[in-house]
Chain A
């Protein structure tokens, strides 16, 4: 076990975690933040994407101990003062989700894409999201939603 201090969605937590514990399980089972989903075991799907010190990461590919001292933002922390983040609103507006399971990770990744490149082309959006799989939408409306936020 190791003691870590991590700030998640603005709230500071101290916890003893097993060295092998993945960040995503610390978030889900340690903190009860179940919005971040686990869709695979090979860092292929991106359902677990969160922001670690402002950068998109797959939380199944980070050990909880590696987040010691870091700031983590999950889907639950994206809205401010009860107002949805523009990316969340755009996902609903453009029907960019169906079953919703990839959605938290996809939204976090999409926010990350625009943080890096505020004015992407369609092709850049598609490549920016290549680490996140969706089985429902064919990405068509996800790309539209991200473009709409970029052009807003």
Chain B
């Protein structure tokens, strides 16, 4: 059977998403959409105080309320272990975090009891009838205040609010080039210091969290639906916390409405739902209300930064030294203590100094725990270095672009260049993205216009800010994670099955929540196996369907999960080759593979993979010892991170009379290696940049002196809507990663990493002629106006 027809190449095509039809017609299935017979509702009783002793909890009145089935406090629900924390760093103080607080509440929103009733409304009504005898205690919510002598202690038995210090010299598995100490003593070098506070952010995935647990009492089995990025991890964590055998714990992340790190988490409500379902033998559901979520779902950032640069007078960067104080909140959640560490090697950005140091303190405060928020550690690093490069340029009276270009690691150093912080970067062309950016921007034209505006005396001035960014993502090589004291691995798994009727089933251990994995993975597998895009089904997010997986975070899904699928595909092809040689009565070496078909070299004799799949399934005529079926699993552990990079510019107009900022242009030139679906990639950049702009201009969560969250509802916390954001101008370069066979890198966090310094840098640039050198984040009109007033004093 000769065939020359092959499906059109799918990689690189802007394929419309397979995910969309259900999402645009209302046929989607998020956790709160799911109802099972006999289902009860949970409502949590939470602390109204940031810090308070619990002298007693009386649930009697709640238990008498209509529809109420049960009520539990920490004393009533047994857990085998506290909530799992996955990064036991060196000498880390790790107080146990129980799903319901036992003796003290440590942040406003800390859950202390749960009420179970037959409807959502009745559960909530009854929760308000639970009476807690609170003894309010002094609270501390600011990181620096928490480190002062005499500060209220979040965990009194620790004797300090400092949970630990991560120190580059002691804790980095990779040695840095040199200690920067002597550089900062050298009188010949110019030094600049940047000090920044990165406000606390609320992730605001549009879908609130939701949990539904259905027990099978007779078998001791539990199914948990949860709005999560990490169903596999949650299965393991719940096993540890509840003593349920792992094989009897099924976790399903159905359609999940965004995560941005807030669902790279395991929450007490999940453990409580399983515990209550076990107690009652009935299914229970809890869905977060948004204001409740503002207290109960992790926050991001909340960090003080101090970064010092030393450079020669002609602008050669010599040394970088960084110290951070990072809020943990009241407890350490799954990866809280490691979030600043994810930036530990990146505070020199794309530059190439000689010496480097980095350290941070992890600080408890009476606040909602912090954990991963889009970019997690890398936006923080990029902000510090990029803003401070601007300061250095200002100090040296150099153009900020010229300073950047002068210090960039050059393209000829790649592949696999070991940067100052000791890690090895796979590939990059930093000048390439910058050149493309400047071409699009018309930098010289912009500077002319800026000067004209200033000369004309117009109250509205313009500025441009740059961010030439680098990140490490594709988390992560397991041996590196081990050296970093992470509890788990960084591999990913995929199984590919050629079904007898010619379609292909792909199981992936990543767990998407908007990223379009089904589409992207379909494109890859279709091309590799030479089948139609439409013939590939991708399954994910259910530990019973896809038992192997380490889920989605850290821009890892393509660069790790995708490569697992690629290798599974290679195994399929290798196995099919053996069968093809058997069928075509030739040696395997005589076969040529073009996606979809084996041909005997130099002949027209061929067989296609669908025919082989059927033959492998029927098993009627297989080589001796051949395992029936055309199925393969691959577990892939990446040898390195992936290191995408790019150059962004933001052009703003600032009204010097009101302090208001308008974004006139936002240009992003990114390089994530080979591009599977450009449409999906652009979508990731759009959303990431929007979140980065929001972080720079709008969003902050602050506490009042008593520890109440001031931005306690979505009506107050400033999430940008369509009028607040511009259209974005995107471009790209392609520098394939040599680390993996597809040459891909991650892109999910890029925009959020890149955007904040470009935006703030643009505002400062617009106002530089007035003497403004920095604007606090978020740069609200009031803060911009104050910066102008203070500079003019």
Contacts and interface: CB of A to CB of B under 8 A. Distances in A.
A29 B287 CA distance: 13
Task: Specify which of B207, B713, B751 lies most central, judged by the most chain A CB atoms within 10 Å of its CB.
Answer: B207
Contacts of B16: 92-93, 95
Contact of B121 (A20, A34, A98): A20
B574 interface: no
A20 to B, nearest CB: 7
B638 interface: no
A94 to B, nearest CB: 9
Contact of A127 (B26, B679, B723, B728): B723
Given A39-B208, A41-B289, A95-B682, A100 B33 contact: no
Interface string A5-26: 0000000000000101100010
Contacts, number: 185
Interface in B192-229: 204-208
By size class, the interface of chain A is 35 or more
Contact of A38 (B24, B208, B728): B208
Contacts of A35: 25-28
Interface in B3-34: 16-17, 19-30, 32-33
Interface stretch (B82-90, B384-392, B508-516): B508-516
A122 interface: yes
Contact of B713 (A34, A42, A76): A42
B358 interface: no
Given A20-B121, A142-B722, A135 B727 contact: no
B203 to A, nearest CB: 8
B189 interface: no
Interface residues of B, number: 57
Contact of A138 (B23, B204, B689): B689
Contacts of B713: 40-42, 44
Contacts of A137: 683, 686-687, 690
Interface in A77-93: 78-79, 84, 88, 91-93
Interface string B727-753: 110000000000000000000000100
B690 A37 contact: no
A96 B514 CA distance: 11
B723 A34 contact: no
Contacts of A126: 721-723, 725
B291 interface: yes
Contacts of B516: 98
Nearest to A126: B722
Interface stretch (B250-258, B586-594, B623-631): B250-258
Contacts of B715: 42-44
Given A42-B713, A127-B723, A138-B728, A101 B690 contact: no
Given A47-B206, A102-B206, A42 B721 contact: no
Interface in B248-299: 255-258, 260, 289-291
A152 interface: no
A70 B54 CA distance: 49
B723 to A, nearest CB: 5
Given A75-B25, A137-B686, A99 B207 contact: yes
B719 interface: yes
Contacts of B688: 138
B290 A42 contact: yes
A53 interface: no
A126 to B, nearest CB: 4
Interface of A: 18, 20-21, 25, 28-29, 33-45, 47, 74-76, 78-79, 84, 88, 91-93, 95, 97-104, 107, 122-123, 125-127, 129-143
- The 4 nearest A-B residue pairs measured at CB: A35-B26, A101-B257, A138-B690, A100-B23
